[in-house]
Structure 1
């Protein structure tokens, strides 16, 4: 099995990808990171995977429903959804997706807001890539139930008991079954984008093993189908990634 992790930014300059090859003996080979990834390279990486391979993408797959509805109302000249309420109170309802609130409850940390932050530019790039995948017959299910899943590396590190600093020494000590040469370790330590892409690839493995939390309720599932859903790995599940697929 192969997992691909992508740390997506609005610009190729700060976009990185990582591929991990999983062997039947419980080891996993970390390949050199790919830096400054353009759209064509990312599409080729994803479409080049086998059907049972997995992808983890560090980028929101959609915008908050309340935010989209408000923008649509404004565009069409309809009443602003927050009419009659305090402006700050209404804007707070537009700020985060349902999955962001779940991440906050699970980790104590909000992801960056795709609606009110520069992260929206990266999400727009992902929407373009997702459309390209759909045109190639590889549509993305935003809830993460298909081959491609939204992930959040910083929260994943926390769930796995890793420190706040990006460290290949710490990661390889916690996961000694990772096969990563000195040159690869240095490359991932040097680039925070490459390191996050590697964590995204590991979370993709957790998804394949059923070791992440997807939408828990019907309301979550409805929101996830539109907004996207961050798949958080189970706490302490890093060591279990070497187990065979079910």
Structure 2
């Protein structure tokens, strides 16, 4: 089986892509930084499952507000305080991630993460036109993943490893991952992951994707399933990655 992880950036040159192959053993078949729209569509088509590190949708209340505001029919809120704005800024899954991990995901409504999210919206449409099930709740072939939160679940370094200035933290995290997943053949890609956090996050995204496929991640509850279909759902793994022999 092939599990693809995509650390999606707004620009192709900063997008990380990793391919994990499982055929009794587990190995990194490819890791690269740089992925055009065409590259990413082809990767999703070739994979059994793909994990994308980007919000797959926007908060439903935010979508409703933008629609009503555009039409000039927005009802005046009782208050525009922080609680009102928080409901517009955070998705249901964002709140669930915070509840479970204490980590607050970037807001796709109010932060720069919206730029790669807009790119994914276009890619989702292209994949859907090709007949690929890209349901945002993970019931199709795509999972929304969040490497920092997954690393926290695995009790690994999840902060201070991004950017050129944090190469030592990235090296330490790569070493932790090697220790945590001794059954994963890195196939010579560890150095690239130490050099570039986009590559490292793509590898983590692929590993989370495998966990989600194996049923080791927390799915939307019945109560949250409908909103997850619109907003997306971040798949958080258990306390440790699953070795191949435990399947």
Tell me if TM exceeds 0.5: yes
State how far apart, in whole Å, the 2-side matches of 1:86 and 1:184 are: 49
Question: 2:176 — aligned with what?
Answer: 170
The change in CA–CA distance for 1:243 and 1:75 in structure 2 (over 3 A counts) is farther
One of 113, 119, 122 as aligned partner of 1:119: 113
Shift of 1:87: 4.1
The equivalences for 1:49-198 within 5 A come to 49=47, 53-80=48-75, 82-164=76-158, 165=161, 166=170, 167-181=173-187, 183-198=188-203
Correspondence 1:223 to 2:221:
no
Which secondary structure state, in structure 1, belongs to the residue aligned with residue 3 of structure 2?
A: strand
1:125 Cα offset (Å): 0.5
Structure 2 counterpart of 1:14: 14
Cα deviations across residues 83-122 of structure 1 (Å, max 9, x unaligned)? Answer: 2323433212101000000000000011100000011111
Contact 2:183 / 2:243 at 8 angstroms: preserved in 1?
Answer: no
**Aligned 8 A contact 1:114 1:123 in 2:** yes
CA contact (8 A) 1:130 1:139 kept: no
CA deviation after TM superposition for structure 1 residue 23, in Å: 2.2
SS where residue 52 of structure 2 aligns?
strand
CA distance in 1: counterparts of 2:2 and 2:94, whole angstroms: 28
The answer for the alignment partner of 1:38 in structure 2 is: 36
- C-alpha contact (below 8 Å) 1:209/1:241 kept by paired residues: no
CA distance in 2, matches of 1:93, 1:74: 16
TM-score relative to the length of structure 1: 0.91
| 4+ residue runs over 4 A deviation | none
Number of residue pairs matched by the alignment: 235
Aligned-partner Cα distance in 2 for 1:9–1:65: 23
Q: Distance in 2 between matches of 1:139 and 1:70?
A: 28
2:210 and 2:80 map into 1 onto residues whose CA distance is 44
Q: Give the superposition deviation at 1:244.
A: 5.8
Alignment check: 8 A CA contact 2:20 2:30 kept: no
Write the distance in 2 (CA, Å) between the matches of 1:2 and 1:120.
28
Q: Distance in 1 between matches of 2:99 and 2:138?
A: 20
The answer for the alignment partner of 2:212 in structure 1 is 207
